[in-house]
Structure formats: structure tokens, C-alpha cells
Chains A and B, each alone.
Chain A
Amino acid sequence: MSEELLAQKAAKGDSLAFEELLRAYEKRVYNMALKMTANPDDAADLTQEAFIRVWRSLKDFKGDSKFSTWLFRIVSNLCADHARRQSRRKETPLIFGEEDDAYEYEPPDERFEPERELSQKELREELDAAIASLGDDHREIFLMREVYDLSYAEIGEALGLEEGTVKSRLHRTRQKLREFLLARGNIPESFASKGMKGDEKR
């Protein structure tokens, strides 16, 4: 059953249909909230609030956009509200890596395999720190792409941006992440494309 159909049923009070949607999205919504709030309790509250809001306003879901886009617009708004409330309080971002050292990443092409100077776990922690260093706009769009796996069109719809803007903002976000990691000196040298450093040429 499509998500849009599930949404229609849920809008009529079918809590089982709603639960299917919840299952499909709760992890992604929670992780988005977690990255945006840097606080597991806030993230859980925000996730709950988001889904209750979804339940209450499903009748307004017209089906002319995808359910995922509509949902993330709600989440995005809640995250923005949260950020406003927190704006006076600078908190140290938490590091969220799960201890999963069994991680094995296989590059699609061995010729490009980077040297492994940091463990994957360390890399993830570095990345979390890098993401935390981003402005809210860049962080959000990056998470929508990487955590939610939304297309540019969907992100654009959810955030009210042109696709071209989404594209360039994501590009800029990735550059910022790399700059951050390079500045910390903690990413594998092989990632450090020299092209990133001004006019230096190889």
C-alpha cells in the first residue's frame, strides 16, 4: 500500500495505517531530530510531537505532494521552532556514534580506496562534530539528503527552495564539512583534495 493511501486511511482515523507510517519514518525522524537538537531527550520529544501533529493534521494532507515531503516539512518546522528556543543556549553537541566497530565499508572502486588513518568510529565522531559546526540551514539540508534520503525536488518542496538552490547548498555544505575536517587535521590525507586549498595545483 502506498504511503499516500496509508495517509488517507490514517486521516480517517485508521490508527493501524498510521502506525505503518510511523514505523516507516520514526527512525529517520528521530535521527534528524537528534542531529538537529543534539539532545536525545529533545529528539524523542520532538519526534513524538511531530507524529502527533501528523495525526492531527493528516486530513489536511492533500496527496498532491508525497507523504514524505509533507512529513518532513512538519519535522523541519518543529526543528526550527526548537532551534529558536535554544538559540540563546549554546550547548556542546553530543557525539552520537553507536559502538559498531564491525563496520566495513567497501569502496565501489578499489583504485580510490583511501588510506585509513582513523577508525570508522572516529571518523563518524569527527563527522558529527563537523555537522554540529554547520549553520542550521546547511545542517538541515544535509540531513534531509543523507538521513531522509530525499531527492533534490523533495527537499526543495519541503523547504520551499528551487532545486538549483538545493544543489548548490548541498555542494557548499559538503565543502564546509571537508574544510572543517581538514582544519582539524583528522581526516585521511587522501580525502584532502588539494583543489580545496585555494589555487594550489597539483
Chain B
Amino acid sequence: MKHCEKYIELISAYVDGELSEAEVSELEAHLVSCEDCRRTLEFYRELSTLEQESMVEPPAGLHDSIMTAVKREKRRPFVRAIPALVGSLAACLVIAVGVGYFGGFGGANETAGMDVMMSARTMDTTVETEGAVPAEAGGLVLATTGAGASVGGEVAFDSAPNYNGAIADSEDSGETTAAYDPSATVESPYSDSSSAIESAKLGDSYDSDKSDYTAPAEPRATPAPQGDNSTSYGTAANDLPLEETTAEATTTDAPRMMSAAMPEIASAIVDGSIVIDADAVTDFSYDNRMYELSDDADANEMLKLLDHFASLELKPLGEVPNVDGLAFSGVTVWYGDTILVFVYYPDGYVVEGDNWYAFE
């Protein structure tokens, strides 16, 4: 037969069961009279058979190894706290906040004896942090990442526009203010419409009387599109205890836990009550492993983890049923009336404001 090329392609699909009935009829009629094509068909079938025959069993132990890894993931401790501290992904920074700090601000008694390590990182609406934080270890690690030199600014100002006032008022407080770098926030990835609105409002609040103040474009506060999360992003800003807040607080949908706590942290940073040694603290703890931020591979791994956590969806569980210090089987850090951090074993629950969530 002369024009077998067409049939050879049909044979390939025939072996795969991908021919239409009409094509099958056509091919089968051809096969009767063409020995070459019969050989081709036979060869293709042989290929399939050989290929399937050559499949081997996976190594013993691979199955168990995978399941072990999966179950370990399931049990990882989880902290999710301090929503939306704005920072740049370009750098990671951890702030060490000593015990004295919490004492100094009253409340947060449960944190006595704990060191809190904190760093800021840009994320959609919340910063997810995770720590290897066995309660019995007496230490809580709260890690986020943020832009290097602008720690003070990132943590304090960007996360709550209200603090822009505080910051601006304390421009004389040397280092911290100097470290504030509005440009870092401008590069922040949050640039949706609500951010723009927020910025505009901030501009209204500040521009006229603080001509040298650069309104952060920071949009970290844009809570939104994370579904159920938004239920906890209430009117917290309006409840802020800080009298000196100049912003109308119209813009912040910040989660309560953050808006209530971060102002004072910000103030403390500004007035020097908290000394941040950005160079001294360089690690991140997760799943009982420390990641050294000075190590590129570790830092990348950490960012990947954070990205992963950021992608998880939360299932609202309603109000936190137990608001007394150590709750459930985890560790709760209070600051005033606000839960700052909640660590839960084994599956990772999240507390934001008065509500808590499970990962879906």
C-alpha cells in the first residue's frame, strides 16, 4: 500500500483508544489489506505492553515516608498574629521585644517571663507567623518579616495609620524616625482601590499641617479579600485607646488585636522604651527549627512557608470561648484586652480579635 502514513497516525490513536467509530472502520478495512500497517499496529501494541510491564514497585518505605511527612505537616504548630505589618519582602527583620515591654504597658500579664520576638512582613491582610513554641519552654516566638532599616516605621506606622500621627509628633526621637522610610511602603504590593482611598484620607489628615510628612501609601490595612477573615476586621480602629490619634480612624479595618496593640508598641518604639536591635535578631522559628535569616536558603525557605500560610483559608469558629490567658492547648499572649498571639497545637487555630478560626 502506498499511502500508509495517514494510517500510521491512525494506528497510534487506535492503540490509545482515541479513534472515532468512522476512523476505526476505515483503519480496520485498511489493515486487512496492508501487512505493513498490521506490523505497525502490532509494534505499537507491543510498546504499550512492554511499557506497562516495565513498571516497578516503588521502594519499600516510600509510602510510609510520605504519610509521615504529611502527618507532620498536619501537626505543625501555628501562630497567626499581628495582622498585616507592612514591610518589604526584600528584607527580613526580627525585632526582639523584651518582657519589660509588656509589663510596662500594663496588662498582658500572661506574657511575663516570655520573650517575644517579632518581625514584620508584608502580606495581604494578615501576617502569618509561626513559632516553635512549646508552652513549657516558656518562650513564645512570633516571627514576621519586614523591611530592614525601617522597622520602626513598618511596624508602627504602616500597620495603623493612626500612628502616623504619633510618629510625626515624635520626629525628634532620632533613630527611629530616621529609620522610617516611607518609600518602603510605597513599594508595598498592596495597591488596590481601597488602599488608594485610604491614602487619600490619610492625606487629608496630614498633608495640610505636616507638609513634610509623607503619607504612607501603605496599604497594609486593606483587609479584605480574604473572606472570612474580614469578619474580624471590625471597627477596631475606632476603639483605639490612644487619645492622641489624629487620624479619624475612618480607614483602618485593621484586625482588632493589631490595632489595639500596635499603637502602643509603636509609641514605645518611638519613645525608646523598646530598643530594637535589628542586627542582633536574625532568626525565625518554625516547627522546632530555627531559620537563620542571614542564611539565604533559610530566609527563602521561611518566606516560602509564610507564603504558604498566607494562602490558607480560614474557617470562622465564632467567638473565642476561652479568653483567659492560656487557652486550649496553646499559648495565648495578651496585651491589654487584646490577644496578640495565639499558638495552638496541634492543628493550628487562629485568633483574631474576639474570633477564632480553623484552617480549612
Q: Is A133 an interface residue (CB 8 A)?
A: no
Q: Is A83 an interface residue (CB 8 A)?
A: no
Residues of A at under 8 Å CB distance from B? Answer: 11-13, 15, 18-19, 22-23, 26-28, 30-31, 34, 40, 44, 47-48, 51-52, 55-56, 59-60, 96-98, 100, 103, 105, 107-108, 112-114, 120, 123-124, 127-128, 131, 142-143, 145-147, 151-152, 167-168, 170-171, 174-175, 177-178, 187, 190-196, 201-202
Given A31, A105, A168, A201, which contacts B46 in the complex, CB threshold below 8 Å? Answer: A105
Q: Please measure, in the bound complex, the distance between the C-alpha atom of A124 and the C-alpha atom of B37, giving whole angstroms.
A: 22
Interface pair B62/A44, CB less than 8 Å apart = yes
Interface pair A123/B46, CB less than 8 Å apart = yes
Interface pair B47/A177, CB less than 8 Å apart = yes
Q: Is B56 an interface residue (CB 8 A)?
A: yes
Most A CB contacts (10 A, CB to CB) among B2, B8, B70, B359 go to: B70
CB contact under 8 A between A167 and B12, given known A15-B67, A59-B313 = yes
Interface pair B57/A152, CB less than 8 Å apart = no
B58 to chain A: which residues have CB within 8 Å? 26-27, 30, 44, 47
Q: Is B136 an interface residue (CB 8 A)?
A: no
Q: Please measure, in the bound complex, the distance between the C-alpha atom of A47 and the C-alpha atom of B43, giving whole angstroms.
A: 31
CB contact under 8 A between A174 and B53, given known A15-B67, A47-B62, A152-B18 = no
Q: From B73, which residue of chain A is reached at the shortest CB distance? A: A55
A12 to chain B: which residues have CB within 8 Å? 360
Q: Please measure, in the bound complex, the distance between the C-alpha atom of A166 and the C-alpha atom of B27, giving whole angstroms.
A: 20
Q: From B65, which residue of chain A is reached at the shortest CB distance? A: A48
Q: How many residues of B contact A (CB 8 A)?
A: 53
Interface pair A31/B42, CB less than 8 Å apart = no
Interface pair A56/B36, CB less than 8 Å apart = no
Interface pair B46/A114, CB less than 8 Å apart = yes
Q: Is B187 an interface residue (CB 8 A)?
A: no
Number of A-B pairs, beta carbon distance below 8 Å: 152
CB contact under 8 A between A22 and B66, given known A31-B55, A167-B13 = yes
Interfacial residues of chain B within 1-26, with CB under 8 A of chain A in the complex: 1-2, 4-5, 8-9, 12-13, 16-18
Interface pair A51/B70, CB less than 8 Å apart = yes
CB contact under 8 A between A170 and B12, given known A15-B74, A56-B73, A152-B18 = yes
A152 to chain B: which residues have CB within 8 Å? 13, 16, 18
Q: Is B50 an interface residue (CB 8 A)?
A: yes
Q: Is B106 an interface residue (CB 8 A)?
A: no
Interface pair B9/A168, CB less than 8 Å apart = yes
B359 to chain A: which residues have CB within 8 Å? 13
Q: From A153, which residue of chain B is reached at the shortest CB distance? A: B18
Interface pair B42/A40, CB less than 8 Å apart = no
Distance to closest chain A CB from B48 (angstroms):
6
Q: From A170, which residue of chain B is reached at the shortest CB distance? A: B12
Q: Please measure, in the bound complex, the distance between the C-alpha atom of A177 and the C-alpha atom of B51, giving whole angstroms.
A: 12
Distance to closest chain A CB from B206 (angstroms):
41
> 20 A-B Cβ contacts within 8 A?
A13-B74, A13-B347, A18-B70, A26-B62, A52-B66, A55-B70, A56-B308, A59-B312, A105-B46, A112-B41, A123-B50, A124-B50, A146-B52, A152-B13, A168-B9, A177-B47, A187-B43, A193-B37, A193-B39, A201-B2
Q: Please measure, in the bound complex, the distance between the C-alpha atom of A200 and the C-alpha atom of B32, giving whole angstroms.
A: 20
CB contact under 8 A between A112 and B38, given known A96-B56, A105-B49, A146-B51 = yes
Q: From B358, which residue of chain A is reached at the shortest CB distance? A: A13
Interface pair B40/A23, CB less than 8 Å apart = no
Interface pair A128/B54, CB less than 8 Å apart = yes
Distance to closest chain A CB from B228 (angstroms):
14
A201 to chain B: which residues have CB within 8 Å? 2
Most A CB contacts (10 A, CB to CB) among B9, B41, B62 go to: B62
Q: Is B63 an interface residue (CB 8 A)?
A: yes
CB contact under 8 A between A51 and B66, given known A124-B54, A191-B46 = yes
B295 to chain A: which residues have CB within 8 Å? none
A113 to chain B: which residues have CB within 8 Å? 42
Question: Considering the complex of A and B, which 10 residue pairs feature the smallest CB-CB distances, nearest first?
Answer: A30-B58, A171-B12, A146-B51, A191-B43, A195-B36, A193-B36, A193-B39, A195-B4, A171-B9, A31-B55
